[in-house]
Amino acid sequence: MDKVTEFTKGDQLTAYYTLTGKEEFLKDHFKNFPVMPGVLLLEMAKQAAAALLRLSDSSDKRYYRLTGAEEARFGQFVKPESRLKISVRLLKREAGTDLFDGHIDLMDPPFGKALSAHLVLAPVDALS
């Protein structure tokens, strides 16, 4: 994420990211048609969700991992120099997991949804 632009404690976060076109993953995915891999879109949404949790509780220094991606839908291809809007909303907190609604939208033509998914995050108890 380049910049968080909206944040409501314990509720939602909006951030932006612009692909520079120089990202290493674009060289091989795909050779003559460079696009951002879908798994990196999921990771971007996960990072936004983790940022929402940490910003909502300044004492929270934990790392979070993605334990599930439900109802994931991939839409428009994300090409070099695309500007992305990343939006996450906390839907539910239960015993050690948090459920989010996540969306990534293209801010340039062809516009539209690049990703929509329900993300399940859990804190990493220990890094080994």
Residues acting as catalytic residues: 29
Long-range contacts of the stretch 81-84 (C-beta < 8 A, 24+):
81/18, 81/19, 81/20, 81/21, 81/108, 82/18, 82/19, 82/36, 82/106, 82/107, 82/108, 83/16, 83/17, 83/18, 83/107, 83/108, 84/16, 84/17, 84/18, 84/19, 84/44, 84/114
